[in-house]
C-alpha cells in the first residue's frame, strides 16, 4: 500500500446536469442523489480504503481550488493539482503522473473520475486490489469494465479476449474499444457476451504510463518532461501555466488505450453508474408508486408518471399530466424537458449562454 496512489479527476463542468450543475459549481461538487455527501466526497471516501489520505490527489480546474479544499478538508493542499485550462484527460493524467512519479518512482496508481456512483464499495475495493497487484508486477495498462445488463447506447464498450499471458484469472486482454454504439449494435454486443461498459477507471504503475505517453503521445510527454526539475517545487505553477494551455486536447482513451497493445480489463460488477444524465439519476433514485423521483415532500402529482423533479425544498410544486419529464428548478433557473430529449440539454446550455450570458450557466 505504501506505493499506492489515487488520482481523482474533477475538472469537468457537468453541463448535462444544468440547471443544478453550473460552471461555478459543477456536478462533482453537488449532492445529486441526496445522500448527504457530494459526489467527490463519496469518491474520496471510497479511495481512502485503497490508500492513505495523503496519497490521494485531486486534479481539477484552478477555479475549483477553494471548493475542493472546502469539501475535502483532509486532503493536503499540495495534493490538489490545478489545471490552468481544460485539455481533456490525457494532459490531466500526464500532469498527475509526472508529479507522483517524481515523488515515488515505484508509484502504482488508480485514476478515477470524481462523479461516478458505486454502490457495492466492498467489491469495488476488492477489484481495485486485484488490479493494483497486477499492475505492480506487470507492464500493463488496466481498466475496469462493467458487466452490462442492458443494451446501453450512452457508454463506450470494451471487447476482451483470453490473455496472451497469465496475469490473474480475472484480468483479461482488451481486444477492441468501441465508441457509443447505436441500439442495434449495442444489442449485438450484449448477445456476444464478451463486451463490457467502459467505466473510465484506470490502474497502472508510473513507469508504464510514462512509457505509454512517450510512445503514443510524445508531444504531451515532452511538454511535461522539460519541467521535471520544477515539479513539486515553488516553480511548478509558472511552468504549468506556460505549457498546459498549449497541450493537445486529447483523451487518454483515444490517445493511448486504443493504440497500446498492453491493455487489460477486469470484468466487474459493483453497482456502477457514471451518472451522466438526469435519466441516470432517476434510475438510481427512490421512486414513488408512479415512478416519480422527487427531492422534497412538498410536491403533489396528478396523473403524472416517471418524472424526475428537483425543486427548492422551500417551495411547493404541483405537477399534473406529465409523464417522463425532467423538471429542475434551481435558484434563478428552471428546466422542463422530456426525458427523451435530455441529450439536448448540453446544447440548451450553450444557447442560454449565447442569449442570456454566463450568469445562468
Q: How far apart are CA 283 and CA 60, in angstroms?
A: 28
Ranges of H-type helices in the chain: 39-47, 65-71, 89-103, 121-137, 183-192, 206-216, 218-225, 236-243, 252, 278-284, 345-356
Q: How many CB atoms lie within 10 A of CB 355?
A: 8
φ and ψ at 142, to 5 degrees? -115, 140
**Bridge partners of residue 143, in order along the sequence:** 202, 265
Q: What are 314-326's pLDDT values in tens digits? A: 899 999 999 999 9
Q: How far apart are CA 199 and CA 59, in angstroms?
A: 18
User: What domains can you pick out in the chain, each with its CATH number?
Assistant: 4-273 (3.90.550.10), 279-360 (no CATH)
Give which of 158, 201, 200, 203 is closest to 179, Cα–Cα: 158
pLDDT < 70 regions, the chain:
none
3 state DSSP class of 51:
coil
The packing angle between helices 206-216 and 218-225, to 10°, is 120
Q: How far apart are CA 258 and CA 244, in angstroms?
A: 23
What was the pLDDT predicted at 180? 87
Record the cell numbers describing residue 312, joined without a space.
427548492
Do 5 and 56 form a contact (C-beta atoms < 8 A)?
Answer: yes
Do 198 and 181 form a contact (C-beta atoms < 8 A)?
Answer: no
Q: Nearest 5°: CA angle at 341, between 340 and 343?
A: 115
What was the pLDDT predicted at 201? 98
Record the cell numbers describing residue 58, joined without a space.
485531486
Q: Nearest 5°: CA angle at 17, between 327 and 8?
A: 150
DSSP 8-state assignment for residue 256: I
Torsion over CA of 181, 184, 190 and 192, rounded to 10 degrees?
-100
In sequence order, the 6+-apart residues with CB closer than 8 A to the CB of 308 are 278, 279, 281, 282, 285, 292, 293, 294, 325, 326, 327, 328, 339
What was the pLDDT predicted at 276? 87
3-state SS, 129-166, equals HHHHHHHHHCCCEEEEEECCCCCCCCCCEEEEECCCCC
Amino acid at each position: 500500500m505504501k506505493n499506492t496512489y489515487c488520482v481523482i479527476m474533477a475538472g469537468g463542468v457537468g453541463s448535462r446536469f444544468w440547471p443544478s450543475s453550473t460552471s461555478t459549481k459543477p456536478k462533482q461538487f453537488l449532492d445529486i442523489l441526496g445522500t448527504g455527501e457530494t459526489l467527490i466526497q463519496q469518491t474520496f471516501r471510497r479511495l481512502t480504503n485503497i490508500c492513505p489520505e495523503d496519497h490521494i490527489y485531486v486534479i481539477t480546474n484552478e477555479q475549483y481550488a477553494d471548493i475542493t479544499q472546502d469539501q475535502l478538508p483532509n486532503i493536503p493542499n499540495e495534493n490538489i493539482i490545478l489545471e490552468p485550462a481544460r485539455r481533456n484527460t490525457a494532459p490531466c493524467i500526464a500532469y498527475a503522473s509526472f508529479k507522483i512519479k517524481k515523488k515515488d518512482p515505484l508509484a502504482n496508481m488508480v485514476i478515477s473520475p470524481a462523479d461516478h456512483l458505486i454502490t457495492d464499495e466492498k467489491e469495488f475495493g476488492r477489484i481495485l486490489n486485484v488490479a493494483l497487484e497486477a499492475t505492480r508486477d506487470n507492464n500493463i495498462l488496466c481498466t475496469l469494465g462493467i458487466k452490462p445488463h442492458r443494451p446501453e447506447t450512452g457508454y463506450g464498450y470494451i471487447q476482451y479476449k483470453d490473455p496472451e499471458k497469465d496475469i490473474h484469472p480475472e484480468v483479461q486482454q482488451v481486444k477492441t474499444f468501441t465508441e457509443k454504439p447505436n441500439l442495434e449494435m449495442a444489442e449485438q454486443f450484449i448477445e456476444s457476451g464478451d463486451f463490457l461498459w467502459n467505466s473510465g477507471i484506470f490502474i497502472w504503475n508510473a513507469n508504464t504510463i510514462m512509457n505509454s505517453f512517450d510512445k503514443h503521445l510524445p508531444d504531451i510527454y515532452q511538454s511535461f518532461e522539460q519541467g521535471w526539475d520544477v515539479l513539486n517545487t515553488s516553480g511548478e505553477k509558472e511552468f504549468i501555466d506556460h505549457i498546459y494551455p498549449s497541450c493537445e486536447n486529447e483523451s487518454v482513451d483515444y490517445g493511448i488505450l486504443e493504440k497500446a497493445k498492453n491493455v487489460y480489463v477486469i470484468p466487474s460488477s459493483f453497482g456502477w453508474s457514471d451518472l451522466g444524465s438526469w435519466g441516470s439519476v432517476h434510475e438510481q433514485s427512490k421512486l414513488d408508486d408512479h415512478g416519480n423521483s422527487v427531492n422534497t415532500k412538498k410536491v403533489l402529482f396528478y396523473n403524472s408518471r416517471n418524472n424526475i423533479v428537483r425543486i427548492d425544498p422551500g417551495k411547493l410544486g404541483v405537477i399534473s399530466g406529465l409523464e417522463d419529464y425532467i423538471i429542475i428548478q434551481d435558484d434563478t433557473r428552471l428546466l422542463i424537458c422530456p426525458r427523451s430529449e435530455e441529450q439536448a440539454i448540453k446544447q440548451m446550455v450553450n444557447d442560454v449562454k449565447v442569449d442570456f450570458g454566463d450568469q445562468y450557466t
